[in-house]
């Protein structure tokens, strides 16, 4: 089924579901990134840092840091959405992710698809998040493809 904005609006009205403000979504996103960056930095400092002054070693070290960040980001998203239906940042602002198919917590396949696309959007420098600003429900590409929606929990 294709979910147009009008169809989504009809579903939301019928089920009395509210869409969170853009500022809450951005704030939750920033909190999540900050948490993953802290975890990444801790892993990097404790296990992977090198004290070499060779430029190639430093470049390799930065590549490892970036790879670890994206792996941890994907793991964080999948685990939080699977067991809590929201990441820590989303829980702070009272928002959660639901599937448009059944208006409940998404299944694991959908969670993994959404999280992978979200991480790839981050890899490309957050450029693809611009499409969320233009959408009535602030749905990014990862939400559109995976047929999910971020809604208010309160």
Least Cα distance to 95 among 15, 5, 25 occurs for: 25
Please report the pLDDT score of residue 83 as a whole number: 94
Q: Could you tell me the residue ranges of all domains in the chain?
A: 5-152
3-state secondary structure of 99: strand
CA pseudo-torsion sign 43, 30, 110, 108: positive
Please report the pLDDT score of residue 122 as a whole number: 87
Please report the pLDDT score of residue 50 as a whole number: 67
Q: What is the mean pLDDT of each run of 10 residues along the chain (154 residues)?
A: 84 92 92 95 79 80 89 96 94 95 93 94 80 83 92 87
Cβ neighbour number for residue 132 with a 10 Å cutoff: 21
Please report the pLDDT score of residue 44 as a whole number: 84
Please report the pLDDT score of residue 104 as a whole number: 92
Please report the pLDDT score of residue 15 as a whole number: 92
């Amino acid at each position: 089924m294709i979910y147009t904005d009008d169809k989504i609006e009809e579903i939301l009205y019928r089920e009395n579901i509210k869409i969170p403000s853009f500022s809450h979504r951005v704030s939750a996103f920033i909190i999540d990134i900050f948490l993953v960056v802290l975890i990444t930095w801790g892993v990097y400092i404790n296990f992977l840092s090198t004290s070499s002054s060779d430029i190639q070693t430093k470049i390799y070290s930065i590549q490892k840091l970036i790879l670890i960040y994206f792996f941890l980001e994907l793991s964080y998203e999948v685990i939080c959405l699977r067991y809590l239906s929201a990441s820590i940042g989303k829980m702070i602002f009272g928002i959660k992710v639901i599937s448009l198919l059944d208006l409940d917590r998404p299944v694991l396949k959908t969670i993994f698809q959404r999280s992978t696309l979200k991480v790839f959007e981050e890899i490309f420098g957050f450029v693809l998040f611009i499409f969320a600003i233009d959408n009535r429900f602030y749905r990014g590409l990862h939400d559109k493809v995976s047929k999910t929606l971020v809604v208010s929990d309160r």
